[in-house]
A and B are shown apart, each in its own frame.
Chain A
Amino acid sequence: MSDAREPVTGIEAPVYLQYQFTAGRAPSRFLSALKQGRLTGQRCPGCSQVYIPPRGACPACGIATEEEVTLSNKATVQSFTIVYIPIPGNPIKPPYIVANLVPDGANISFIHLLSECVNEEVHIGQRVEAVWKPEAEWDYKMDNILYYKPLEEPDVPVEMIGKLGVDGLEGKQS
């Protein structure tokens, strides 16, 4: 648009809107527990499956969830990707691993970073453990857990992923 004789063919349209976000009841309980250093899920009264992060409903049954369950810091890699591109607004440097992780005691995976690992050695069924920030830095945030790191434990057979109790492979199934 510097040349005044060139016709206008475009405009910039800054659309910036301000919102006050309030977390729902179930997410608020989840975040409050995280601030205390606990990872929690909610158990569906219908199908008994444990959800993380809890959203207040069992998506399969469509009924409200209420019962809070404390989950393990240990988890299993359900699957993962090695990401080579930066996330907008995130300081993590590529390549990094984003994994679908099922914490022991839960029946569903959530996404988090995997670190302190050799990227080429990460695999489905691998055991990992949460690495928390120092307690003084805990906030109402999932990134109180900085990342997960590999554990020296036997792999979980694929058919068992998502079915471990809170005590892991050694404990009873949920």
Chain B
Amino acid sequence: MSVQARDIAIVAFHQSDCQASAGATNEVELIMPEIRAVMDQVGLRNAQDVDFVCSGSCDYLQGAAFAFVAGVDALGAVPPIRESHVEMDAAWALYESVLKIRMGHADSALIYGFAKSSPGELPIVLSQQLDPYYLAPLWVDTVSLAALQARLMLDAGKITEADMAAVVSRSRHNAMNNPHAQLAGEVSVESLLAQQHFVSPLRRHDCCPVSDGASAMIIATVEQAKAWGKPYAILRGIDHRIESHNLCTRDLTESPSTRRAAEAAGVADGAVDVAELYAPFSHQEIILSRALGLGEGTSVNPSGGVLAGNLMMASGLSRVGEVFQRIVSGEARRGVAHATSGPCLQHNLVAVVEAA
């Protein structure tokens, strides 16, 4: 769906560095600097100055129930605030916040996502989101599932291993301009292809790293954004769709849910200058670019994308934030952000961001 009734402005965004381990930093300590940063961008005190707060996190990543409850300690929630939480990437917290503003119950919202994924064995932890009777008991890890998907692509002739390496090479190159990236540098396709397979046909560099960190965003009605007097971008459309949990009934070489979300969000209504795609594996960036109908004119993952650093539960929100930043800086007029959840791109969110 596109935003008809009330246009929504993205006013501020910040994300932490993608760190292989945040070490002695707890959830509150991870979140607080990001919230402070977006508050400062707008000139607000704390969560009291927005109408709604929504966060995204996942207890199992760090292995403690109610991680999000600790997050509330970072907000200054006295007196009490209007606040909610999704056990999903914070891009879905953005979605919930958009609905709140559209229905007139809020004129502004703070959104944040955070995770410490490093304490556990992430691909194994995430195996427990699979079918609890048929797959989770086998501990099929997420890297292996992505590898099955990549093989389907290769066998179908839809990509080559060189195409995958080219995605990684561009990611690392782009990430050199991203101060928050974990992996950056000039690497040639040839040198990447010379590396051994990890979970064949994937090489290690085809898989995103595990990162700890957080990101935060402030959105508002356009009227509120104007009143704040800060540069903003318009969130023109946002939609998300899920697919079957049975990986084998899905056509894993395509992403019909992304295609559908893109139609509903209005991706094709104009030229796309920039796209930030949540592709944790190199071949998935190609699937997503195709599903979104992106062409030569689009700069894909100028931040390096999540192959350069993947803040679980925040990377989706960060994709929207990256596009926002490029639009307010004047680098782009119109962009697309994408977030994903579940194995092999099961659940996809697409947002269209435009210059005001």
Contacts and interface: CB of A to CB of B under 8 A. Distances in A.
Q: Do chains A and B touch in the complex (CB under 8 A)?
A: yes
Interface of A: 11, 13, 15, 17-28, 55-57, 59-64
B229 interface: no
A62 B24 contact: no
Interface stretch (B25-33, B88-96, B288-296): B25-33
A63 B48 CA distance: 13
Given A20-B119, A21-B63, A62-B47, A57 B124 contact: no
Contact of A28 (B24, B27, B119): B24
Contacts of B26: 23-27, 55-56
Contacts of B124: 17
Given A17-B63, A19-B62, A19-B63, A59 B78 contact: yes
Contacts of B223: none
Contacts of B234: none
B136 A60 contact: no
B34 to A, nearest CB: 12
Contact of B120 (A19, A24, A56, A57): A19
A17 B125 contact: yes
B224 to A, nearest CB: 21
Contacts of B118: 20
A44 to B, nearest CB: 11
Interface of B: 21, 23-29, 32, 35, 46-47, 60, 62-63, 70, 72-78, 118-121, 124-125, 128, 132-133, 136-137
Given A56-B32, A62-B76, 13 more contacts: A21-B119, A24-B26, A24-B29, A25-B24, A27-B26, A28-B24, A55-B70, A56-B26, A57-B32, A60-B76, A62-B32, A62-B46, A62-B75
Given A13-B132, A62-B75, A57 B28 contact: yes
10 contacts: A17-B120, A17-B128, A22-B21, A24-B28, A25-B25, A28-B24, A60-B78, A61-B78, A62-B75, A62-B77
A61 B24 contact: no
B208 to A, nearest CB: 20
Nearest to B133: A11
Contacts of A55: 26, 28, 70, 73
Contacts of B77: 59-60, 62
A62 B35 contact: yes
Contacts of B121: 17-18
A26 B74 CA distance: 14
Contacts of A15: 128, 136
A107 to B, nearest CB: 13
A174 B75 CA distance: 25
A22 B28 contact: no
Contacts of B136: 13, 15
Residue in B25, B26, B46, B118 whose Cβ sees the most chain A Cβ within 10 Å: B26
Contact of B74 (A13, A17, A21, A62): A62
B29 A22 contact: no
B287 to A, nearest CB: 29
Contacts of B120: 17-20
B76 A23 contact: no
A13 to B, nearest CB: 6
B75 A11 contact: no
A64 B30 CA distance: 11
